[in-house]
């Protein structure tokens, strides 16, 4: 057969594409459940890491996660709890949760080993090459950051990708989201610069200006809607652990005067 005839070329290309497509589709289908499980476990690890809990083996992540996370909450911009079904916060797809007007505000309530209560707030934003996201654990004073964990999809290795390093994430510990009772977030800035709104700040990463700015903007943008929720916590000093059934009452008790 003539290798350069049109028929041969078209047939060759068609068969090849069909074959490769089938193989890839099959591999994708076969591996999908395993991949989804890995991704969910990875999210759990990120949340645990924001709480300074070392990640166990993949097989135990789920159990450990369920041990520490005592309740999933959705709150609204006024700080009221609107939903507390199981895993309701964990299942929020932050990728689709961007529009401010219809944004859901997931909160994961956690009880760590020393008995204190922490609230984990997910954040999601843009880096240089793609999305970046993270989990911010806040003390029950509604102000002090207990821990942070950041991840990214495709930031430059050695530069922007360093937001995943422990040393960077540890800098957020003990920073305050509120200054003089006003929500200010935490700014990530070049050494020597001052945040214009007076927010507390940490050093940006060398050579990763845009990713650092992305983290800074992400913190401000995603945590601001929680300010009413956090304020309520500050006013109540220590929010009692509500049993799932008692949520309505607790919410009412905490209404600001």
The footprint of other proteins (CB under 8 A) covers 3-4, 8-9, 12-13, 16-17, 20, 23-24, 27-28, 31, 34-35, 38-39, 41-42, 129, 151, 153-154, 156-159, 206-207
Output the smallest distance, CB 214 to other proteins, in A.
16
- Is 124 or 183 the residue whose CB approaches other proteins more closely? 124
Output the smallest distance, CB 253 to other proteins, in A.
43
Q: What CA–CA distance (Å, rounded) separates 115 from 107?
A: 18
- Is 39 or 100 the residue whose CB approaches other proteins more closely? 39
CB-CB contact of 150 with 186 (8 Å): no
CA-CA-CA-CA torsion sign (143, 145, 149, 151) = positive
Cα torsion at 166, 104, 73, 70 (round to 10°)?
-30
CB-CB contact of 46 with 151 (8 Å): yes
- Is 57 or 237 the residue whose CB approaches other proteins more closely? 57
Provide CB contacts within 8 A for 75, sequence distance 6+. 81, 82, 105, 107, 226, 229
Output the smallest distance, CB 56 to other proteins, in A.
14
3-class state of residue 255 by DSSP: coil
Output the smallest distance, CB 197 to other proteins, in A.
28
Strand partners, 83: 74
Output the smallest distance, CB 46 to other proteins, in A.
11
């Amino acid at each position: 057969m003539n290798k350069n005839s049109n028929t041969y070329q078209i047939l060759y290309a068609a068969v090849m594409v069909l074959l490769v497509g089938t193989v890839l589709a099959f591999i994708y289908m076969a591996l999908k459940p395993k991949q989804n499980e890995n991704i969910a476990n990875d999210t759990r690890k990120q949340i645990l890491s924001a709480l300074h809990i070392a990640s166990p083996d993949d097989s135990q992540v789920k159990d450990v996660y369920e041990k520490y996370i005592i309740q999933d909450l959705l709150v609204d911009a006024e700080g009221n709890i609107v939903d507390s079904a199981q895993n309701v916060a964990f299942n929020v797809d932050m990728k689709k949760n961007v529009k401010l007007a219809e944004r859901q505000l997931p909160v994961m309530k956690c009880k760590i080993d020393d008995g204190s209560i922490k609230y984990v707030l997910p954040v999601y934003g843009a880096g240089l090459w793609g999305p970046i996201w993270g989990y911010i654990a806040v003390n029950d004073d509604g102000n002090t950051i207990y821990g942070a964990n950041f991840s990214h999809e495709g930031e430059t290795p050695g530069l922007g990708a360093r937001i995943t390093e422990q040393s960077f994430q540890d800098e957020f510990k003990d920073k305050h989201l509120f200054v003089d009772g006003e929500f200010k977030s935490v700014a990530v800035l070049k050494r020597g610069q001052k945040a214009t709104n007076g927010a507390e700040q940490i050093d940006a990463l060398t050579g990763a200006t845009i990713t650092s700015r992305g983290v800074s903007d992400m913190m401000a943008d995603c945590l601001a809607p929680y300010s009413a929720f956090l304020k309520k916590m500050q006013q109540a000093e220590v929010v009692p652990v509500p049993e799932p059934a008692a949520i309505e009452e607790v919410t009412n008790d905490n209404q600001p005067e």
